[in-house]
C-alpha cells in the first residue's frame, strides 16, 4: 500500500515521462523537450519522493547516485566469459578472415555487420525483468569487478528497459567511454584543481569507472553504446546480430550510429575507409572497425578459438601513439619571434605517416613533461594534428641526461630572449632572419596573398642573397634576379613573376591577414575589414575603436594598434599599395534583415552626444538595420554630428553627404521606434 495514491500516480507518471525523454535524448537522438523542462520533471519527482519516502524505488531516475562509497569492489564471475577480438592490420588480413569463414561455412554469401571499435572499456549490464541489477567490468574475461554503483550514474544507461518482449534475464554488453569534449573538460577541471590530468579519454573513462565513491563517477562525463549480448534466459532474441542490436535499441539501450549491415567483405572494407576518413570528426575516440558475421546460427557454426570468436575481427586503424627516441631538441623561431622547442626524433611510423619531429610547445611544457635528449618518448599523431610528445618513458631514461634549458639568446639572430608568461620571444624583430623568413612565408601563403610557386626554399634564397628585405620588395623582383637563383629555370621564374603579379589583385581581408599582425587570423582580418571597410580608417583607429569590432578584445586591439603605429610597417604598406596591390571596396556588411527601416544605409557618428552615449546611438541605429561605420566615404549615407564634430563633418560636407545633428537623430530614432 502506498502512502498517498495521488502522489503515487504522479510519481509513476513522472518516472515514465523521464524515462521516455531519456530514450528520446540518448537512444534516438531526437529530444522532444528542452533541458529546462526535463529538469522540471526531475525536480518535481525529487520533491515528491522527499515528501513520500515510501514511494522511492531503486529504479527511479532520482536514484542514480547511491549513498555511501564502497570500501572495495566485489568480484563478479562472468557466467559467459567476455572474450576479446582477433586483429586485422591490412585489407589482406580481412580478406583471409572472410575466406576462412566461407571455407568453414561452405556458403557463397556471408552478410557482415561493420561497426566502429569504440576505444573505452567493455562492460556487462545484467537486466532482470527489465531492471538493471548488476554492472561488471570485463576484468580478465572470466572475472570482473562489480561497478554497479558507478554505472547507475551514467545517464544514458537505462535503469529500466522500455517496452516489452525482452528476455527475463538479459546481459547487455557494450563499451563505456568518454567523449573527446568530455575529456577536455575533465582535464581542464583537473588542471584547475591542480590534479594530474588524464593521458587520454580511455584512461579517463577507466579511472572514472573505478571510483569507490559513486558521487565522483557521477560527475564524470561517461557515455555508453551496446554492441552484443551475453546471458539470455526467459526469452528469445532475433537470429541476426544487426536485428539483436535493433531490439536492444528499442528497449532503450543506446547504439552507435557507425554501424551497418553489409552484403559482403568488400563493402566492409569500404566502410572501414569511410570511418577512417571521419575518425577525427567523431565526438569520441575509436581505434578500428569490427566486422561480425550477422547470422547467429553461422556464428555458432564458426565458434571460437583461443578466447576469440572466429566470426568477428577488429580491423585496426594505424596507431596514433608510438614509442621512439629524442635525438635532439631544437629551437624554432616563429614569425612573431616565439621560440618553440621541437623534438627531433628517430623516425617512427605513427598515425599513418613517418614522423621525425614533434612539437614540445614551450619551455614550461618541456619542463612539465621533463623531456630530455636521449629519452624514449610516446609520440602521438592524431589525424592532421601536428605530432606531439605525450610523455617520457621514465624507466628507459639513460644514465646521463640534462634537464632542458631554454636559451636566453635567439639561436638565429642572437638577440636577447624575452619571457612573456609561458612564451619566450626573440626581441630581434626585423633583424631576426627567422622572423623575416616566417613573415614572408606567411605573406605568400594560400589564405594570405596566395602566391603560388614562391616556396620556402626560394624565400630563403631571396633573403639570404639580399634580393628582398621586406615583403614589399617581392613586387620589385626582376626576372634575371630570379633566374640567378639555384634551381630556378626561366620558365619557373616567369611563373613566379606571374603569380606575384596576379596576387596584386586581392581582397582587404586577405591583405590584412597577410600583414602578419599578431593574433590577427583569417577571421579577425575579415572582421576588421568589414568593420572599417577601408584600410585608412583601420590604420588610424585608436584602441577603443578597435575593441568595438566583433571578436576583437584588448589584446588584439593592442597588437593591431601598435602594428599600425610602427613607421616601418606603414612604409611597407605604402610601398605595397604603390606597387599596385589593390582590393575592391568592401560593401557594408548588411545583414539579411533588408526589411528594417534603415537597411542599406551607412551611418557615421562623430562628435559628442548629450542625450545618449555614442554606443547607445550606434546600437539603436543598428537595430533599425543601419550599418555604423567608423569613417566617412562616398558610400556614407548620413553623418550624425554631435558637439565639436571635426574632420569627419568637414569631409561629409565636402562630399555632400547628409548631416544630422543630435535633435535630428533623436527625431529619427523616435520616428521608427514604436
Ligand atoms: S564485440 C566477442 N564490438 O573491443 C567479441 N567489441 O578487442 C565481443 N570493442 O573487449 C566484442 N567496440 O571492449 C565489440 N563494436 C564493438 C566494439 C568492441 C569496442 C572492444 C570491447 C572488447 C574489445 C575486444
Domain boundary among 263, 285, 316: 316
What average pLDDT does range 565-592 have in this prediction? Answer: 84
64 domain residue, yes or no: no
Are residues 554 and 608 both part of a single domain?
no
What average pLDDT does range 20-29 have in this prediction? Answer: 94
What average pLDDT does range 424-452 have in this prediction? Answer: 92
Q: What's the total number of domains in the chain?
A: 6
Which atom belonging to ligand 1 lies closest to the Cα atom of 83?
2
Are residues 25 and 167 both part of a single domain?
no
Residue 372's closest CA among 336, 329, 309, 429?
A: 329
Domain boundary among 503, 526, 541: 503
Q: Residue 3: pLDDT band by 50, 70, 90 thresholds?
A: low
In this prediction the pTM is: 0.61
668 vs 205, more confident: 205
pLDDT at position 1? 47
65 domain residue, yes or no: no
74 domain residue, yes or no: no
Q: How would you classify the pairing of strands 121-128 and 423-426?
A: unpaired
287 domain residue, yes or no: yes
- Interval 344-382: pLDDT, tens: 999 998 887 899 999 999 999 999 999 999 999 999 987
Are residues 491 and 558 both part of a single domain?
no
Q: Residue 598: pLDDT band by 50, 70, 90 thresholds?
A: confident
Is 654 annotated in the active site?
no
pLDDT at position 384? 65
- Given a contact cutoff of 8 angstroms between Cβ atoms, the answer to whether 343 and 358 are in contact is yes
Domain that holds residue 452: 432-503
Give the C-alpha separation, 549 to 511, whole Å. 18
pLDDT at position 590? 42
585 domain residue, yes or no: no
Which atom belonging to ligand 1 lies closest to the Cα atom of 120?
13
Q: Is the CB of 226 under 6 A from ligand 1?
A: no
Q: Is the CB of 366 under 6 A from ligand 1?
A: no
Q: Is 80 exceeded by the pLDDT of residue 31? A: yes
Q: Is the CB of 123 under 6 A from ligand 1?
A: no
Cα(283) to centroid of ligand 1, in Å?
18
586 domain residue, yes or no: no
Lowest mean pLDDT among 402-416, 484-498, 622-636: 622-636
Are residues 145 and 94 both part of a single domain?
yes
Distance of CA 104 to the CA centre of its chain: 45
Residue 475's closest CA among 567, 572, 584?
A: 572
What average pLDDT does range 290-303 have in this prediction? Answer: 97
Are residues 160 and 126 both part of a single domain?
yes
Through-space distance between the first and last CA atoms of the chain, rounded to whole angstroms: 61
pLDDT at position 592? 44
Are residues 291 and 339 both part of a single domain?
no
318 vs 577, more confident: 577
406 domain residue, yes or no: no
Q: What is the CATH number of the domain that holds 633?
A: 3.40.50.10190
For ligand 1, atom 24: residue with the closest CA: 84
What average pLDDT does range 155-160 have in this prediction? Answer: 96
For ligand 1, atom 6: residue with the closest CA: 117
Q: How would you classify the pairing of strands 658-660 and 222-233?
A: unpaired
pLDDT at position 174? 98
Are residues 269 and 292 both part of a single domain?
yes
Q: Is 90 exceeded by the pLDDT of residue 500? A: yes
Q: How would you classify the pairing of strands 602-606 and 627-629?
A: parallel
pLDDT at position 178? 97
- Interval 223-260: pLDDT, tens: 999 999 999 999 999 999 999 999 999 999 999 999 99
Computed over its alpha carbons, how large is the radius of gyration of the chain? 33
- Interval 417-427: pLDDT, tens: 999 888 999 99
Cα(256) to centroid of ligand 1, in Å?
13
Are residues 523 and 469 both part of a single domain?
no
Q: Is 90 exceeded by the pLDDT of residue 588? A: no
Candidates 175, 226, 302, 316: which one to mutate for ligand 1, based on the most atoms within 8 Å of Cβ? 175
Write down the residue that cell numbers 558610400 correspond to: 635
106 vs 381, more confident: 106
DSSP tag of 141: S
For ligand 1, atom 12: residue with the closest CA: 117
27 domain residue, yes or no: yes
- Interval 121-152: pLDDT, tens: 999 999 999 999 999 999 999 999 999 999 99
Domain boundary among 316, 339, 369: 316
Q: What is the CATH number of the domain that holds 53?
A: 1.10.287.610
Are residues 609 and 656 both part of a single domain?
yes
pLDDT at position 595? 63
Are residues 154 and 252 both part of a single domain?
yes
Exactly one of 117, 325, 627, 648 is catalytic; name it.
117
Q: Is the CB of 309 under 6 A from ligand 1?
A: yes
Give the C-alpha separation, 550 to 610, whole Å. 26
Q: What is the CATH number of the domain that holds 326?
A: 2.40.50.140
Which atom belonging to ligand 1 lies closest to the Cα atom of 175?
13
- Interval 530-564: pLDDT, tens: 999 999 999 999 999 999 887 788 899 999 999 99
What average pLDDT does range 460-483 have in this prediction? Answer: 94
Q: Is the CB of 510 under 6 A from ligand 1?
A: no
Are residues 161 and 210 both part of a single domain?
yes
Number of H helices, E strands in the chain: 24, 24
3-state DSSP assignment of residue 295? strand
Give the C-alpha separation, 229 to 247, whole Å. 11
Lowest mean pLDDT among 83-87, 322-326, 427-431: 427-431
Q: Is the CB of 63 under 6 A from ligand 1?
A: no
What average pLDDT does range 626-652 have in this prediction? Answer: 87
pLDDT at position 610? 85
- Interval 506-530: pLDDT, tens: 999 999 999 999 999 888 898 899 9
Q: Residue 628: pLDDT band by 50, 70, 90 thresholds?
A: confident
Record the cell numbers describing residue 457, joined without a space.
626554399
Are residues 517 and 495 both part of a single domain?
no
Q: What is the CATH number of the domain that holds 497?
A: 1.10.150.20
**Dihedral of CA 262/267/272/278: which sign?**
negative
Write down the residue that cell numbers 610602427 correspond to: 566
Amino acid at each position: 500500500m502506498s502512502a498517498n495514491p495521488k502522489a503515487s500516480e504522479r510519481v509513476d507518471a513522472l518516472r515514465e515521462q523521464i524515462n521516455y525523454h531519456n530514450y528520446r535524448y540518448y537512444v534516438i537522438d531526437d529530444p522532444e523537450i528542452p533541458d529546462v523542462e526535463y529538469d522540471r520533471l526531475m525536480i518535481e519527482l525529487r520533491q515528491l519522493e522527499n515528501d513520500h519516502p515510501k514511494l522511492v524505488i531503486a529504479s527511479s531516475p532520482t536514484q542514480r547516485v547511491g549513498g555511501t562509497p564502497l570500501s572495495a569492489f566485489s568480484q563478479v564471475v562472468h557466467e559467459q566469459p567476455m572474450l576479446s577480438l582477433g586483429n586485422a592490420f591490412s585489407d589482406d588480413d580481412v580478406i583471409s578472415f572472410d575466406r576462412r569463414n566461407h571455407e568453414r561455412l561452405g556458403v557463397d554469401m556471408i552478410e557482415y555487420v561493420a561497426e566502429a571499435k569504440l576505444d573505452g572499456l567493455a562492460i556487462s549490464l545484467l537486466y532482470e525483468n527489465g531492471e538493471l541489477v548488476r554492472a561488471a567490468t570485463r576484468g580478465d574475461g572470466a572475472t570482473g569487478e562489480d561497478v554497479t554503483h558507478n554505472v547507475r550514474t551514467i545517464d544514458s544507461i537505462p535503469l529500466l528497459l522500455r517496452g516489452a518482449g525482452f528476455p527475463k534475464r538479459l546481459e547487455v554488453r557494450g563499451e563505456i567511454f568518454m567523449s573527446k569534449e568530455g575529456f577536455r573538460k575533465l582535464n581542464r577541471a583537473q588542471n584547475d584543481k591542480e590534479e594530474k590530468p588524464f593521458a587520454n579519454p580511455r584512461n579517463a573513462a577507466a579511472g572514472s569507472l573505478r571510483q569507490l565513491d559513486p558521487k565522483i563517477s557521477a560527475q564524470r562525463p561517461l557515455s555508453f553504446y551496446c554492441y552484443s549480448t551475453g546471458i539470455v534466459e526467459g526469452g528469445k532474441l532475433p537470429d541476426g546480430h544487426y536485428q539483436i542490436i535493433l531490439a536492444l535499441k528499442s528497449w532503450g539501450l543506446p547504439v552507435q550510429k557507425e554501424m551497418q549491415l553489409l552484403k559482403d567483405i568488400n563493402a566492409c572494407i569500404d566502410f572501414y575507409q569511410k570511418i577512417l576518413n571521419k575518425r577525427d570528426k567523431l565526438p569520441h575516440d575509436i581505434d578500428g572497425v569490427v566486422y561480425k558475421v550477422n547470422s547467429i546460427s553461422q556464428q555458432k557454426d564458426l565458434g571460437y578459438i583461443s578466447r576469440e570468436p572466429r566470426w568477428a575481427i577488429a580491423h585496426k586503424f594505424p596507431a596514433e601513439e608510438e614509442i621512439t627516441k629524442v635525438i635532439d631538441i631544437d629551437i624554432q623561431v616563429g614569425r612573431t619571434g616565439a621560440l618553440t622547442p621541437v623534438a627531433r626524433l628517430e623516425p617512427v611510423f605513427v598515425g599513418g605517416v613517418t614522423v621525425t619531429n614533434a612539437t614540445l610547445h614551450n619551455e614550461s611544457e618541456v619542463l612539465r613533461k621533463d623531456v630530455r635528449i636521449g629519452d624514449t618518448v610516446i609520440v602521438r599523431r592524431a589525424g592532421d594534428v601536428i605530432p606531439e610528445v605525450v610523455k617520457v618513458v621514465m624507466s628507459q631514461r639513460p644514465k646521463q641526461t640534462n634537464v632542458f634549458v631554454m636559451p636566453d639568446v635567439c639561436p638565429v639572430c642572437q638577440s636577447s630572449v624575452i619571457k612573456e608568461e609561458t612564451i619566450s620571444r626573440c626581441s630581434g624583430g626585423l633583424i631576426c632572419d627567422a622572423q623575416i623568413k616566417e613573415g614572408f612565408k606567411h605573406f605568400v601563403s594560400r589564405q594570405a596573398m596566395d602566391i603560388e610557386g614562391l616556396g620556402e626554399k626560394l624565400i630563403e634564397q631571396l633573403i639570404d642573397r639580399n634580393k628582398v628585405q621586406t615583403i614589399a620588395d617581392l613586387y620589385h623582383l626582376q626576372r634575371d634576379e630570379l633566374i640567378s637563383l639555384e634551381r630556378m629555370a626561366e620558365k619557373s621564374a616567369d611563373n613566379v613573376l606571374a603569380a606575384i603579379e596576379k596576387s596584386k589583385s586581392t581582397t582587404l581581408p586577405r591583405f590584412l591577414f597577410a600583414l602578419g599582425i599578431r593574433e590577427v587570423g583569417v577571421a579577425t582580418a575579415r572582421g576588421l575589414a568589414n568593420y572599417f571597410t577601408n584600410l585608412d580608417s583601420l590604420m588610424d583607429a585608436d584602441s577603443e575603436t578597435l575593441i568595438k569590432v566583433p571578436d576583437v578584445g584588448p589584446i588584439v586591439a593592442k597588437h593591431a594598434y601598435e602594428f599600425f603605429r610602427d613607421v616601418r610597417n606603414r612604409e611597407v604598406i605604402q610601398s605595397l599599395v604603390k606597387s599596385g596591390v589593390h582590393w575592391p571596396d568592401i560593401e557594408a556588411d548588411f545583414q539579411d534583415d533588408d526589411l528594417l527601416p534603415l537597411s542599406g544605409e551607412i551611418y557615421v557618428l562623430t562628435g559628442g552626444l548629450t542625450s545618449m552615449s555614442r554606443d547607445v546611438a550606434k546600437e539603436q541605429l543598428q537595430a533599425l538595420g543601419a550599418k555604423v561605420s567608423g569613417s566617412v566615404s562616398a558610400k556614407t549615407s548620413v553623418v550624425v554630428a554631435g558637439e565639436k564634430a571635426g574632420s569627419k563633418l568637414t569631409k561629409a560636407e565636402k562630399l555632400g553627404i547628409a548631416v544630422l545633428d543630435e535633435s535630428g537623430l533623436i527625431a529619427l530614432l523616435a520616428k521608427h521606434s514604436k
